[in-house]
Structure 1
Amino acid sequence: MYPGSALGEFLRSRRARLRPEDVGLSPGVRHRRVAGLRREELAPLAGVSVGYYTRLEQGQSPNVSDEVLDSIARVLRLDDDELDHLHRLARVVRARERVRPERLRPGIKAMVDSFTEAPAMAVGRRGDILAWNRLAHALLAPHWDFDGEEKPNFIRVDFLETDFARGLYVDWEQKARDDIAYLEGSLSRFPGDEELTALVEELLALSPEFRALWTEHPVANCATIERGYRHPEAGVMTLTTELLRTPDDEGQGVVVFQAEPGSPSSERLRRLAGLVAATAR
């Protein structure tokens, strides 16, 4: 069950994308029983024994050093985000404390409300929208009740309301990968969050698209993303999202959507703001 096997799953996914010749080895036999690099091929290149590396993938090496992790990352050709993720996952093996319930801080709600010309929302570590302004509601989920007590989880919307989500995002596949990367990051930071683990299990059970992408374990920091949106009234817009993490590291953040000044997208975002204002009146 994830996240107990998270470290092993991640390492296996990264071994699978490499070929022996990628790391200077002979491809050997034509038909290999496993995809990608074998454990016995990776371990010597990283300077560890096959037995030690095997135990690491099985979560049985809680005291693995940063130097060993860096060496393995070098062989696997991990980028900076993936390297950070690997280090967090390794620490999960020895730190599984329960986390506090997630509650929206009043200051975060006030920050979201302060944005009047840009869509903004507060998101939790599980992808729950904790607060949003009317522009974010109109852009992302106008079929939900803005004033309702229950607000959507944007990852559930993307994978379980796929007709809507595929219509909204110009590149739904990339949005879906970014969603999984968001979950991956949260799981590595909050391994004791049972509701987070339950969300992953729910999506694995209900969404074939989620199951297919989950095996790849995409990793990204999701801090700044440019994305295309289709709005039925305002039109197609390219917006950049900035995820501002809260300093207490509870996994919450504020997401602000912006268009390049003077661009057609900026004009369409103003059009959407006008529609929202007219509806509110």
Structure 2
Amino acid sequence: MNRTALRALLKERRELIAPEAHGLSRPTGRGRRALGLSQQQVDELTCRAVDTYNRLETGRYPNPPADYLRQVGRLFGLNEQEWVSLCRYAGIGDPPGPLNPSSGLEVPGAWQEAVDGIGHMAYLTDASWNVLAHNRHFAEMYPAGRPPANTIRWMLLDESAREDTLIDWHDVWAPLILPQLRAAIAARQEDETLRAIEREVRADAFLGRLWEEGGFHIHPDGDERPLRHALLGPGHVTICAAQPLTAPGARLIIMIFRPGLQKSHVRAPMLRAAPRGASS
């Protein structure tokens, strides 16, 4: 727990909220006037016992429940980065999921320009795997030059992906993609797009059996997989994955393509900062 940072974050955001916006009034008696909501008003709005919020803001509430922190975060209008900070400062670590169901479904518009400037195949999806931005290199991977609307649905259920583009789909791609879908649903249980894909997966003869078997591989970062490029032919892609900080669950995927099905190249070593004092 970081009491100083926790108090600063909560006090600043609490004082920005007008009690009148929630049908409450400001105290009229003597004494110092609260700039925004009082601590007791926060207890009232979150339906908690008196002094609950004071304990949180002053750091006297060890390991507060995530559902209570979510109540406070939504009441205070925190963004996703502030939500992460609130959970960390309160001592529970990273949040169990996004603050709001709509989080992860949009990113700043500058990301399109950023993706366009990448020299490898690159695309950006929201938390439901809907494509928000892509560059021309990524579009060229597809026979028609048009990427799918939803990449995980395409990877799992599109016939051209299974039979042509994603080489060794049954053994290499499908077993690694399904756990990603499962993990996303665990974090976003009310996401109807993901739930619809899950229903399609369960109804598929092969994927349905694989889904029931489970699987734990949920992160493609650094993976290398065989792929048939519409213009460049068969080869391998190394997948680099990252996440925009303002959109939890969204992902930037960069695919480094190397022609040929033989893994003749040497995998790049891990990047680490040089020890202090080491000569350049």
Whole-Å separation in 1 of the counterparts to 2:145 and 2:257:
24
Report what 1:102 is aligned to. 105
Matches within 5 A, 1:165-244: 165-173=162-170, 174-205=172-203, 207-220=204-217, 221-244=219-242
User: TM-score w.r.t. structure 1 length?
Assistant: 0.51
Whole-Å separation in 2 of the counterparts to 1:96 and 1:203:
28
In the TM superposition, residue 97 of structure 1 has moved relative to its aligned partner by 6.5
Code of the aligned partner of 1:256: I
Tell me which stretches of 4 or more aligned residues in structure 1 moved more than 3 Å. Answer: 95-101, 263-266
Q: Deviations over 1:194-243 (max 9, x none)?
A: 332222123323x2222121112222222221011123542221120101
In the TM superposition, residue 144 of structure 1 has moved relative to its aligned partner by 5.6
C-alpha spacing 1:204/1:264, structure 2 compared with 1 (3 Å): closer
Whole-Å separation in 2 of the counterparts to 1:256 and 1:128:
16
SS in structure 2 opposite 1:170?
A: coil
In the TM superposition, residue 101 of structure 1 has moved relative to its aligned partner by 7.0
Report what 2:143 is aligned to. 142
C-alpha spacing 1:204/1:168, structure 2 compared with 1 (3 Å): same
C-alpha spacing 1:216/1:105, structure 2 compared with 1 (3 Å): farther
Q: Deviations over 1:41-71 (max 9, x none)?
A: xxxxxxxxxxxxxxxxxxxxxx9xxxxxxxx
Q: Deviations over 1:165-190 (max 9, x none)?
A: 32112221221122212212212222
Q: Structure 1: which 5+ runs fail to align?
A: 1-62, 64-87, 267-281
Report what 2:117 is aligned to. 114
8 Å contact 1:155–1:179 — kept in the other structure?
yes
Give me the CA root mean square deviation: 3.5
In the TM superposition, residue 122 of structure 1 has moved relative to its aligned partner by 0.5
SS in structure 2 opposite 1:230?
A: strand
Whole-Å separation in 2 of the counterparts to 1:172 and 1:200:
18
- Select the structure that is richer in helix: 1
C-alpha spacing 1:144/1:165, structure 2 compared with 1 (3 Å): farther
8 Å contact 1:122–1:252 — kept in the other structure?
yes
SS in structure 1 opposite 2:140?
A: helix
Whole-Å separation in 2 of the counterparts to 1:249 and 1:186:
14
8 Å contact 2:239–2:253 — kept in the other structure?
yes
In the TM superposition, residue 264 of structure 1 has moved relative to its aligned partner by 8.8
Whole-Å separation in 2 of the counterparts to 1:96 and 1:252:
14
Work out which of the residue numbers 157, 160, 171 in structure 2 matches 1:160. 157
SS in structure 2 opposite 1:215?
A: helix
8 Å contact 1:246–1:252 — kept in the other structure?
yes
Q: Structure 2: which 5+ runs fail to align?
A: 1-64, 66-92, 265-280
Whole-Å separation in 2 of the counterparts to 1:145 and 1:260:
21
In the TM superposition, residue 158 of structure 1 has moved relative to its aligned partner by 2.6
C-alpha spacing 1:97/1:120, structure 2 compared with 1 (3 Å): closer
Whole-Å separation in 2 of the counterparts to 1:260 and 1:234:
9
Identical-pair percentage: 20
C-alpha spacing 1:185/1:242, structure 2 compared with 1 (3 Å): same
C-alpha spacing 1:226/1:251, structure 2 compared with 1 (3 Å): same
8 Å contact 2:121–2:137 — kept in the other structure?
yes
Computing the radius of gyration from Cα coordinates, the structure with the larger value is 2
Work out which of the residue numbers 122, 129, 133 in structure 1 matches 2:131. 129
Work out which of the residue numbers 242, 252, 264 in structure 1 matches 2:250. 252
Number of residue pairs matched by the alignment: 171
Whole-Å separation in 1 of the counterparts to 2:231 and 2:215:
33
Whole-Å separation in 2 of the counterparts to 1:210 and 1:240:
24
Whole-Å separation in 2 of the counterparts to 1:157 and 1:114:
25
